[in-house]
Amino acid sequence: MRCSECQSENPEQALQCQHCGAPLPDPYQALTQAQESLARLRRFVPAVIAEGLLKDQERLRGERREVAVLFADAVEFTHLSASLDAESAFELINDLLNRLVACVHRYDGLVDKFTGDGLMAVFGAPNAHENDAELAVRAALDMQQAMAEFAPIARAKLGAPLQIRIGIHSGLAIAGILGGKEQAAYTVIGETVNLAARLESQARPGNVLVSARVHQQTRAFFNYQSVGQASIKGLAQPMQIYEALSSRSDPLSARGVAGVTSILLGRNTELQQLQSVLNTFLNRQEGWFITIRGEAGIGKSRLVSEWLAQTTPDQITVWQGRGLPYAQGVGYGIFRSLLQDAINAAPPEQPWDAQVSPALRPFLRLILELPLSEEEERSLGYLEPERIKQLSVLAIREWILAAARKRPLVLIFDDFHWADDLSVAAMEILHQLPQEAQVIFCIITRPQPQASPAFLPQPHIPTPQRTLAIALQPLSPPHSRALLAHMVNLEGLSEAVIETILTHAEGNPFYIEEFVRMLIEKEMLHLEDTQWQVISPVALQAMEIPTSLRSLMMARVDRLAEDQRDVLSSAAVIGLQFDAGLLEEVERRLHGSTNTLAILERLHELGLLVKRPGAGEGIYAFRHIITQETIYNSMLRSQRPDLHRTVAEAIETRYAAELHNQAEILAFHYDRAYVRDQALTYAILAGDRARARFANREAIEYYSRALQLSQHLSQRQIERWQAVVGLGEVYQHIGEYEEATACYQAGMEEWKAPPPEKQAQVLLRLG
């Protein structure tokens, strides 16, 4: 049990903290309270999220989040229900709201609050997804479908049609607990929430209205109709609004840059490996099991697409299935996607299930969520769940083998990291099929916090016969630059902007594309032929992290265990690169942690951190600058000073014998902690160190900051004098004599009666 005062861990039955003596809560009372809290939360939040919130109280204190907010309202319900007694009206609206809540939970959303005749839902807090805007729109369309199914019930009781209207906007918001102990609630607040509510009020009954931002984020997945511009309260300019009509039957690629043909760079080795497997597969009629592993956006699917493009349709049959983040609770989701692709490609004159024995066909319909006959439902009702699972896998197996006998078969399982438990269990059995049939299983996945299934071959580890494991690495700097040059005419970009894009992208093709897409949206580029040209100077200030990448990073961080998130957050405060021993001390002070080094090793295995042996023993760094910046920026500004102070104090403890070598980092952390006296001391020391090694611009920055800090500290006259004289010496050294003289004179004016030796130093410099 953790002490709320000192954060130390104690035995479960302890009545007071063994470290600081503070009273500890009764464990039985705490359990009862947790169970009551869980029951309340489940009404608003999917069960998995509710349990996670109760385990991870730290996250509830508040954080900045990129979210999608949805408002739904039953139009004119109060007026229409006037003829009903209060109990009947309550039962009717409660029935409707329960149906709408189910739509929110289906896509891992949170019901923030009920608004009388409607609700407010949030996607992206407390758990982020890389496609929260998409999830919100899917939930909205499902809500309209649920309303259509509920409409006859409502009409029968109200005597008139009932419809809902919905508004969706996405953007930054503050998420956390508001209120005191008795009335505390997890919620999100901010302008994003206000705009979503105003969009809902603009919608007509039966409509789903979204902002231009949501439209831009999701237009690859949905059919939209422009509604035009509307004046929205709180906005100086009219807002462009779109109506979401339906999901696209043929979703467009969300990757790539408009107007530019995508190219594959830096993947020749991997492409040759795959081509060699395909040649062996066709010539020797042998099956293969392939895994392609890499972080999001690294080019896994693009590599497979290029590989398959080298074949002709008469050589092989290709079926593709895809895991979906919102379908992880749906059984056999990735196999359902695969079988639907097979059905779509089958000749229309042939029954889609003809190649499977009649006894197993009901299990395929079960997987595909197709209607069963009464007899089939009755037969399945007699079977144990475990037997149904066995026969379902057997039906999939029979279908695959039948297809492989007709023509060599390649099965692509994309985004397998989002596969549900039943899909993973089925794959544990079916992955042996390449050993007995001419079929390739190609699994595309990302590194995950949990251990990979045993059937997935690991890179750099000996694999069974006819298996291939590919781990895609970031593009080299030359290939990254070539990819950027393919999309944008680099002559119009300054080298500083190019370097900023490439440094933040760190070899990830998707990241490079997103930076270009952001510049397009800011109207800094225009398309000429097949390349984007710069039409206005691109300032470094414009190079913020694109929303899509922030969401991608937060989604990955949110999937980590609580202690892993804590370690990453502390590391993000320290900086891009950090010492493991220092982080261990910070974690001990903040969370009472004793296993920081083991967690660091796991985060390294997951590819979130890298080791920097060249920088010294125990030095780690974030794999991506974007990860560090996103985690840090998600913290509330009010929380950051205490964290920086903890880091600074830990540095002083760990490096007590050589504090002068830590002056720069201590000046930074104490400055961010608003501990001005300490920040002033270390800023002057950092300036002295920079001046001694002739790093003149750095010295000017440190001394100038020291002068700014000293303005708030009237008793630090000596330090102010040191800063102004040090600044003068640097200016004198670089030949800026007027600035130097001004500094020396200011020093004499600041300190009316300096010690004789100090006065002599300045007078000597003034000549």
Residues 407 and 529 in one domain: no
Q: What is the pLDDT of residues 652-674, one digit of tens each?
A: 999 998 888 899 999 999 999 99
Cα separation, 373 vs 90, in Å, equals 37
Residue 566 forms part of a structural domain: no
* pLDDT top residue among 523 and 595: 595
Query: Does a structural domain hold residue 367?
Result: yes
Q: What is the pLDDT of residue 670?
A: 94
Q: Are residues 721 and 663 in the same domain?
A: yes
For residue 575, is it within any domain? no
Same domain membership, residue 659 and residue 536: no
Judged against a pLDDT cut of 90, whether residue 494 lies above it is answered with no
Report the range of poorest mean pLDDT among 38-52, 185-199, 274-288, 515-529. 38-52
Task: Give CA–CA dist 728/687, Å, rounded.
Answer: 12
Regarding whether 502 and 402 lie in a shared domain, the answer is no
Same domain? For 345 and 494 the reply is no
Residue where a domain terminates, one of 471, 492, 511: 471
Q: What is the number of other CB atoms lying within 10 angstroms of the CB of residue 355?
A: 17
DSSP per-residue codes, 661-688: GGHHHHHHHHHHTT-HHHHHHHHHHHHH
Whether 267 is in a domain gets the answer no
Beta bridge partners of 239: 230
**pLDDT at residue 30 in the model:** 45
pLDDT for residue 330 is more than 80: no
Amino acid in position 464 = P
Q: What is the CA radius of gyration of the chain?
A: 31
Cβ 568 vs Cβ 603: under 8 Å: yes
Looking at residues 486-501, what average pLDDT do you find? 85
Q: Does pLDDT of 295 surpass 60?
A: yes
Q: What is the pLDDT of residues 585-629, one digit of tens each?
A: 999 998 888 899 999 998 988 888 988 877 678 889 888 888 888
Residues contacting 524, CB < 8 A, separation 6+:
534, 535, 536, 538, 542
| pLDDT surpassing 50 at residue 114 | yes
Q: How confident is the model at residue 571 (pLDDT cuts 50, 70, 90)?
A: very high
336/760: higher pLDDT: 336
Query: Confidence class of residue 158 from pLDDT cuts 50, 70 and 90?
Result: confident
* CA proximity to 105, closest of 90, 130, 128, 122: 122
Write the CA distances from 144 to 153, 181, 467, integer angstroms: 15, 36, 47
Chain segment 72-81, per-residue pLDDT in tens: 999 988 888 8
Per-residue pLDDT of 387-437, as tens digits, reads 988 999 999 999 999 999 989 999 999 989 888 888 899 999 998 888 888
What's the whole-number average pLDDT of the chain?
83
Give domain status of residue 559, yes or no: no
Predicted pLDDT at 755: 59
pLDDT value of position 679: 92
Read off the pLDDT of each residue in 200-225 and give the average, rounded to a whole number. Answer: 93
Q: Which of 326, 398, 404, 411 is nearest to 358 (CA)?
A: 398
pLDDT over 80 (residue 24): no
- In this structure, the answer to whether residues 215 and 141 fall within a common structural domain is yes
Q: Are residues 194 and 320 in the same domain?
A: no
Average pLDDT for 160-164: 90
Question: Is residue 760 classed exposed, middle or buried when 0-12, 13-18 and 19+ CB atoms within 10 A define those classes?
Answer: exposed
Residue 640 has pLDDT above 80, yes or no: yes
User: Given a cut of 60, is residue 530 above it in pLDDT?
Assistant: yes
> What pLDDT is stored for residue 515 in this prediction?
83
Determine what percent of the chain is predicted with pLDDT higher than 90: 30
Mean pLDDT of all residues in 10-31 = 55
Mean per-residue pLDDT, 700-718 = 84
Neighbours of 450 (CB within 10 A): 9
CATH assignment at residue 66: 3.30.70.1230
Note the Cα 373 to chain centre separation in Å.
43
Residues 85 and 193 reside in one and the same domain: yes
pLDDT of 138 strictly over 80: yes
Question: Is the confidence at residue 13, as pLDDT, over 70?
Answer: no
d(CA 512, CA 516): 6
Region 26-53: mean pLDDT is 48
Residue 273, domain member (yes or no)? no
Position 15 pLDDT exceeds 80 = no
Instruction: For residue 306, tell me if it sits in a domain.
Output: yes
Whether pLDDT at 723 is above 80 = yes
Residue 256 lies in a domain: no
Output the pLDDT for position 327: 65
Which of the residue ranges 246-255, 274-283, 589-598 would you say has the lowest mean pLDDT?
246-255
Residues 35 and 109 in one domain: no
Q: Tell me: do 344 and 363 sit in the same domain.
A: yes
Q: Residue 125 — very low, low, confident or very high, per pLDDT cuts 50/70/90?
A: confident
- Do 336 and 416 fall into the same domain? yes
The predicted pLDDT at position 633 comes to 85
Domain coverage including residue 509: 477-544
Highest mean pLDDT among 315-324, 679-688, 747-756: 679-688
pLDDT score, position 41? 45
In this structure, what CATH number is given to the domain that contains residue 675? Answer: 1.25.40.10
pLDDT of residue 611: 87
What mean pLDDT comes out for the span 154-160?
A: 87
Identify whether residues 325 and 375 lie together within a single domain. Answer: yes
The lowest-confidence range among 60-69, 102-111, 148-157 is 60-69
517 and 257 in contact (C-beta within 8 Å)?
Answer: yes
C-alpha distance from residue 313 to each of 151, 405, 445 (Å): 47, 16, 25
Residue 583 binned pLDDT confidence (cut-offs 50, 70, 90): very high
Structural domains counted in the chain: 5
